[in-house]
Chains A and B, each alone.
Chain A
């Protein structure tokens, strides 16, 4: 989660965001050039990404919930929006995050009678 100094949530940075940025722009051209020697290219791509600002590639169109959002509504949001994690806000401040895996573990506990 990306926050401002006052704790206000301004975006999220996911693994997918970073992979998208690391992917070379012109791969559609040189991806066909299997005759060229390209060892060390992955390391070069990683080096290029080092100076990038989080704010330039983060996702800002966020869906958030509050601590009292119903669990079934959370499941509905995750399915409809294809998101695996949702920040939890209270008075515009981040108080937690709900992961898809946590929801599923909770569901399993209920189904198996553990929880």
Chain B
């Protein structure tokens, strides 16, 4: 993406420089089936619920939709019945530092942005958008740890990063025979977006994400069916010794946010690599600017 500004550090950025202006919303009279379709079509994790004058009333996230599936609610249930509030807002001229503080304190990944009219959202500030900014600014900052370590030879350093340098070692898995109910319980308990599914021999056989679960809900699958019925297979994985750049390319081409990490030829899954973590690491951030310490 062409860089058209001259800024070199994250400090002083405001919400409006990071927010998206497209707010995906549905009226409170819309039902769960419509919300699932919107989440799939617009590829968003949450939908704003509004009144007839488009004022924000609540939020329905993929987690809430998964909860509705778990609770056995019919797809014609109105969003007004499951939406969550109060909505957390920030203003477009707020500093990114303050907005991220609010995200941290509330344990959430997105804030809606207000302008002058009360409860009228004009944008969304989401965690991945901030990671994108971090990549843009930190890579060209003179304080980048990549430059400092290498006396300016940034490219050489970053091409040698390995997946094992960035991955998270904790992996939650479920047996193929576990019901969708059990998978939903596990994802909710550990606050995960997806879980690894293992076959009878203990080898990884697929992945079930919240998106897969809400699609199963929409397609009428009973929540008692085994996970293997809807899992994505094969598992998208990479070796722990693979170059980070290749793993990032793999995620980009597959349009996924995480790769499971295996160890050699053993097929043993030893970790998970997220695109956000990989981008943050590769950005060379020195973490001096408060914004670069994002962790919600």
Contacts and interface: CB of A to CB of B under 8 A. Distances in A.
Given A25-B255, A56-B215, A30 B248 contact: yes
A102 B17 CA distance: 41
Contact of B37 (A37, A41, A60): A60
Interface in B244-258: 245, 248-249, 251-257
B38 to A, nearest CB: 10
Contacts of A101: none
Interface residues of B, number: 35
A32 B135 contact: yes
Contact of B279 (A20, A30, A44, A60): A30
B190 interface: no
Nearest to A56: B40
Interface string B253-280: 1111100000000000000000110010
A38 B248 CA distance: 10
A20 B41 contact: yes
A41 B40 contact: no
B218 interface: yes
Given A29-B135, A29-B275, A32-B132, A56 B37 contact: yes
A64 B276 CA distance: 43
Nearest to B257: A26
A2 interface: no
Interface centre among A23, A29, A58 (most CB of B within 10 A): A29
A6 interface: no
Given A20-B43, A33-B279, 13 more contacts: A17-B41, A21-B43, A24-B252, A26-B128, A28-B129, A30-B252, A36-B248, A36-B252, A38-B252, A40-B253, A48-B254, A56-B37, A60-B37
Contacts of A37: 249
B249 A26 contact: no
Contacts, number: 82
Interface centre among B131, B255, B275 (most CB of A within 10 A): B255
Interface of B: 1-2, 20, 30, 34, 37, 40-43, 126, 128-129, 131-133, 135-136, 155, 215, 218, 245, 248-249, 251-257, 275-276, 279, 282
B73 to A, nearest CB: 19
Contacts of A20: 41-43
Given A32-B136, A60-B37, A25 B43 contact: yes
Contacts of A48: 254-255
Contacts of B40: 21, 56-57
Given A56-B215, A57-B41, A33 B135 contact: yes
Contacts of A56: 37, 40-41, 215, 218
Contacts of B254: 44, 48
A92 B21 CA distance: 37
B76 to A, nearest CB: 13
